[in-house]
């Protein structure tokens, strides 16, 4: 009887190690992670997402875009007025809402698109998935993402 008991204990240990290693593959490593569009859009904006992970949780999310001069899209008053008048939202609003949803959900599951910013939502999702994968791998290099294909 002693040999089967030892065998069961050995299998239990192997299964526990396997389960803990599997869970660790999805764990986020602490640090800052960024992804940005490989190329600028037709208006010259290059979207990006940056997150900070602390104690395995996303504690900071920034989503925005910049132009070749480094100007941030959510600060562009003319663009904001145009978008708000034509689409009912603007970058300073939807970028914060997408970032808030991401942090609350600790990922992209269950995020909801904002009317008037669905194209940005799809780009945000692709960038956000990339930074999550970087956080799982501990890859702190900024990753360029081709947002033109899918």
Tens-place pLDDT, residues 98-126? 999 999 999 999 999 999 998 999 999 99
Between vectors from CA 22 to CA 18 and to CA 23, what angle results, nearest 5°? Answer: 120
pLDDT top residue among 105 and 17:
105
Does CATH number 3.90.1010.20 belong to domain 28-145? yes
d(CA 98, CA 16): 37
Q: pLDDT, tens digit, for every residue of 64-104?
A: 999 999 999 999 999 899 999 999 999 999 999 999 999 99
Q: Which 8-state DSSP code applies to residue 72? A: B
Model's pTM, two decimal places? Answer: 0.80
């Amino acid at each position: 009887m002693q040999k089967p008991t030892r065998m069961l204990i050995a299998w239990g240990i192997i299964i526990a190690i396997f389960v803990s290693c599997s869970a660790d593959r999805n764990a986020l490593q602490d640090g800052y992670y960024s992804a940005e569009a490989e190329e600028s859009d037709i208006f010259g904006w290059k979207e990006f997402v940056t997150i900070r992970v602390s104690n395995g949780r996303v504690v900071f999310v920034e989503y925005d875009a910049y132009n070749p001069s480094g100007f941030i899209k959510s600060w562009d008053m003319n663009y904001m007025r145009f978008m708000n008048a034509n689409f009912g939202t603007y970058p300073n609003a939807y970028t914060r809402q997408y970032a808030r949803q991401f942090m609350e959900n600790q990922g992209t599951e269950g995020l909801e698109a904002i009317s008037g910013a669905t194209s940005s939502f799809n780009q945000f999702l692709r960038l956000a998935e990339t930074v999550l994968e970087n956080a799982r791998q501990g890859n702190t290099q900024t990753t360029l993402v081709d947002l033109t294909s899918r």
